[in-house]
Amino acid sequence: MNPSGDIPDNQAYVPFTPPAGLYTASVPEGWAQSSSGSATTFSDKLNSARFEQKSTPAAPSTATVTAEVVPALRFAHPGFTLTDVTPFARTGGSGVLVRYEADAPANAVTASTHRQAVEDYLFWKNGTQVDVSLTSPKGADNVDPWKKITDSFTWR
């Protein structure tokens, strides 16, 4: 049996392209999809993959992300603890990765909460930034699924 929040190794993936069609990424098959504004979230149990597209004139750097993005994350997420801000390179592009932990929203029935580990990949190309935010319970072993999703990201 997998620990709470571990995505099974045999998870199937399907392509996702948002309505604007600027990029494609693989997401876990069968996960619930919801949209709000320019963001689309796929979720299942305690895990989620969120894609948000925005216009940004310049590519993010570790310095700008640390100065501008991290304070906004700290404000938006109770229990925010920064792990690191580093550059990354994936098949479809490079950018800045923000890793942090935060408290999950309270369960509506039990009012209990848990710690979440978040990896937020900021891809950028020609004035468009796509934030790929991957969330799972702290301690879940989702290195391979998160790599599969971020490696599948390609600009169209």
- Count up the domains in the chain and report the number: 1
Q: Under 8 Å CB-to-CB from 111, ≥6 apart: which residues?
A: none
Place of tokens 């990424």: 25
Q: What is the pLDDT of residue 137?
A: 95
Q: What are phi and psi of 9, to 5 degrees?
A: -65, -25
Taking the alpha carbons at both ends of the chain, their separation in whole angstroms is: 38
Query: Which residues sit opposite 132 in a β-bridge?
Result: 51, 121
Q: What is the pLDDT of residues 126-145, one digit of tens each?
A: 999 999 999 999 999 999 99
pTM value > 0.75: yes
**Range of the structural domain that residue 107 is part of:** 13-155
Strand ranges inside 20-144, DSSP E: 23-28, 32-36, 39-44, 47-55, 81-90, 93-103, 115-125, 128-137
Q: What is the pLDDT of residue 138?
A: 94
94 falls within a domain: yes
1 falls within a domain: no
118 falls within a domain: yes
Structure-token pair, residue 64: 């700008």
Residue stretches of the chain with pLDDT short of 50: 1-2
Q: Under 8 Å CB-to-CB from 31, ≥6 apart: which residues?
A: 42, 43, 44, 47, 49
6 falls within a domain: no
CATH number (domain holding residue 109): 3.40.1000.10
